[in-house]
Structure 1
Amino acid sequence: MKVDWEAVGQSLDAEGHAIIESVLRPAQCEALASLYARDELFRSRVVMARHGFGSGEYKYLAYPLPPLVARLREAFYPRLVPIANRWHQAMGIDVRFPPTHEEFIARCHAAGQARPTPLLLQYGEGDYNCLHQDLYGEHVFPLQVVLLLSEPGRDFTGGEFVMTEQRPRMQSRPIVLPLRQGDAAIIAVHHRPVQGTRGPYRVNLRHGVSRVRSGHRHTAGIIFHDAA
């Protein structure tokens, strides 16, 4: 798979998100989605309605991660580090990220953030995910990856991946990301810098999923920091 990482960086800088098409083949998507039934692979299960998060459920994978998930985490991280460090510099945040994911995870674990955060999500008819941010502790990598494992129009209808962006003294801007099966969306976790007339300022982003009208929707989330 060839990725124009310069274009990815430009999209992230301009919009807070970027889409990479066909990161996974259909067979890989189906194999990853099928892991949801294997409880021994997960550390916890969250039923969204119990917590006011929406409707549907998700499970956090346990260590050791499935090989495909581990490879994706390791492959994306070094490509995103230059963007993450550039964003932190622009936003006046002193923290910088090391070049390898292994080094960053060691930092998380030393601070007590030792629970893995990659997850699989499952939605049925009527399910949705409220707008939220995946933070989990003091150490937060500012970008994450969402992979759609089902095919819109065939496996489900509705269920659009959505984001909102809140700029100071302005109303929220809605964003809909048109993903197909196997596509990856790289998104801002929390803040991103925007260049203003007086220099860069921070905008706040959240993401979620609109109501699924029919069928079943499966997603994988690759979060680079671990949880406390």
Structure 2
Amino acid sequence: MTIHSTDVAARLTEARVARYDWAVLGGELSGHGCAVMEKLLSPDECRQIAGLYPEEGHFRSHIHMARHGFGKGEYRYFRYPLPDLIASLRSALYPRLATVANDWNERMGQAQRYPAEHAAFLKQCHDQGQTRPTPLLLQYVPGDFNCLHQDLYGDLAFPLQVAILLSEPGEDFTGGEFVLTEQRPRMQSRVEVVPLRQGDAVVFAVHNRPVQGTKGNYRVNLRHGVSRLRSGMRHTVGIIFHDAK
């Protein structure tokens, strides 16, 4: 799929990402572990991306969740080169999220710092043998769900990722809510159910995030998943910023 030519896609995507209030989004991420970017994609763009699912030439692998104990449903990993819109979103979102990621690592006492540009971070991944693209397209039908999990794929993992809902709740499907859980030391886990409309993106923590406590920052562990689909069909595109081994 080529929604736009590569250069035009990059410029248009940079402009659409820049229009969001990143100070507010960064505060939501640091305060709750997730933030919603409303109407990141248009309905037409959502339909075009979802329509790629049966076209095997765009993908490097096809996963049936039940075979691996991941839940019930299926997804496909895109191959390189990525569709222009997916590639440009990955590049445009990364620098803004790298600022949050570096702040988190400093607060958690972790040495890893992320470069300002996505290309430089991908080079780090590839130098460590993580060369397979990770953006993916997921498809759910009634009864399908995604178990709580973390998308790590290798030693080098970017701590934030993005999922964009391509289907319209209440029209295309019911159920299938995005769920984020946060395991806090010596406390009960906290659950966040994130309401999304078609074209909305949720940015969320992949693995750990810092939380300010009375004695300084402590680390909490997060997992994400999707609740059971009740009816219809649900498509989501996931943008993961590190590549896989």
Give secondary structure in 1 for the equivalent of 2:53. helix
User: After superposition, where does 1:9-88 map in structure 2 within 5 Å?
Assistant: 9-88=26-105
Q: Which residue of 2 aligns with 1:160?
A: 177
Q: Which residue of 2 aligns with 1:193?
A: 210
Aligned pair partner of 2:120 in 100, 103, 109: 103
Residues 51-79 of structure 1 show CA distances to partners (whole Å, capped at 9, x for unaligned) of 11000000100000000100100010011
Does residue 151 (structure 1) correspond to residue 168 (structure 2)? The answer is: yes
Question: What is the TM-score when the length of structure 2 is the normalising length?
Answer: 0.92
Q: Which residue of 1 aligns with 2:159?
A: 142
Aligned equivalents of 2:35, 2:179: Cα separation in 1: 13
Q: Which residue of 1 aligns with 2:10?
A: none
Aligned equivalents of 1:173, 1:79: Cα separation in 2: 26
Deviation at 1:197, TM superposition (A): 1.1
Aligned-residue RMSD, C-alpha: 0.5
Q: Residue type matched to 1:197 in 2?
A: T
Question: What is the TM-score when the length of structure 1 is the normalising length?
Answer: 0.99
Q: Residue type matched to 2:140 in 1?
A: Y
Residues 152-172 of structure 1 show CA distances to partners (whole Å, capped at 9, x for unaligned) of 000000000001000000111
Give secondary structure in 2 for the equivalent of 1:170. coil
- Unpaired stretches in structure 1, ≥5 consecutive residues: none
Aligned equivalents of 1:190, 1:209: Cα separation in 2: 16
Aligned equivalents of 1:60, 1:87: Cα separation in 2: 28
Q: Residue type matched to 2:29 in 1?
A: L
Q: Residue type matched to 1:63 in 2?
A: Y
Does residue 117 (structure 1) correspond to residue 127 (structure 2)? The answer is: no
Aligned pair partner of 2:234 in 181, 193, 217: 217
Q: Residue type matched to 1:34 in 2?
A: G
Q: Which runs of 4+ in 1 moved over 2 A?
A: none
Alignment length (residue pairs) = 228
Aligned equivalents of 1:124, 1:68: Cα separation in 2: 25
Aligned equivalents of 2:124, 2:87: Cα separation in 1: 18
Aligned equivalents of 2:42, 2:216: Cα separation in 1: 42
Deviation at 1:110, TM superposition (A): 0.4
**What is the percentage of aligned positions where both structures have the same residue?**
63
Q: Residue type matched to 1:130 in 2?
A: C
Q: Which residue of 2 aligns with 1:205?
A: 222
Give secondary structure in 2 for the equivalent of 1:213. strand
Aligned equivalents of 2:236, 2:204: Cα separation in 1: 14
Aligned equivalents of 1:129, 1:143: Cα separation in 2: 18
Aligned equivalents of 2:234, 2:182: Cα separation in 1: 24
